[in-house]
Amino acid sequence: MPSLVPTTDEGRIYELCVLYPYPLPQKEEQEVLKAVEHIFEDAQAKLISKDSWGRRGLAYAIRGSTEGCYVIYHYEVDPEKIREIDEAIRITPNVLRHLLIKPPKGYEVVKFSEQFKNWQKSKEEGDQRNAAAAEEKLRKQVADRAKRQAKRVEEEKKVKKETEAPKKPLSEGALEEEISKLISDDEINL
């Protein structure tokens, strides 16, 4: 992380946030950033860091743009030149908004773009872990259901065997006796 300690007695550290419209052709985008950097070069400022945040949605439309690109600069510059730098940035074409501040003491420069990439990577890893856990849970549910179904089929086979126990064939005399009972029954309606 860059140091936010001025290298000269008359210099101070300033943070600049520049917002320009999206979409902007690549050539115009580079011209905007070069114009901003040129303003600081003219003021003999020293660039400490530059962090491009990229495209973000805006809370409200600015000059017809609902999305914009952000770039954060940290410069060491003479405080007497800040007013003219601010005025020059204000009239720079394609700069929707800008904010030039003096960070508080103990402020550390943290690259948002790097942190965002790390966050995305950890989020993807977390999503992959969650997907694997959900898939494993689903496999277990399918296996449990198959076991229950196999057990139910076995029980049904067992019950079927018990209820369909083979009947002993009737002897010839017993068969004649059964037939005569049926024939002598008066309540049979044919």
Residue 37 has pLDDT above 80, yes or no: yes
Q: Would you list the DSSP string of 116-141?
A: HHHHHHHHHHHHHHHHHHHHHHHHHH
| CATH code for the domain of 70 | 3.30.70.60
| CA distance linking residue 54 with residue 34, whole number of Å | 16
Residue 104 has pLDDT above 90, yes or no: no
Last residue of a domain, one of 110, 138, 170: 110
pLDDT given for residue 188 in this prediction: 58
Q: Counting every residue, how long is the chain? A: 190
pLDDT given for residue 16 in this prediction: 92
Average pLDDT on 125-144 reads 91
| CA distance linking residue 17 with residue 152, whole number of Å | 69
Question: What total number of domains does the chain contain?
Answer: 2
36 lies in the same domain as 87: yes
- Residue 44, domain member (yes or no): yes
pLDDT given for residue 18 in this prediction: 92
Residue 101 has pLDDT above 60, yes or no: yes
Range of the domain at 137: 111-159
Average pLDDT on 128-142 reads 91
25 lies in the same domain as 65: yes
pLDDT given for residue 190 in this prediction: 56
- Residue 68, domain member (yes or no): yes
76 lies in the same domain as 58: yes
Residue with the bigger pLDDT between 153 and 161: it is 153
- Residue 90, domain member (yes or no): yes
| CA distance linking residue 36 with residue 19, whole number of Å | 11
Residue 53 has pLDDT above 60, yes or no: yes
36 lies in the same domain as 47: yes
Q: Please check whether residue 16 is in contact with residue 98, taking contact to mean a CB–CB distance below 8 angstroms.
A: yes
59-66 contact pairs (CB < 8 A, 24+): 62/19, 62/21, 62/96, 62/97, 63/21, 63/96, 65/21, 65/22, 65/96
Residue appearing with tokens 């914009």: 68
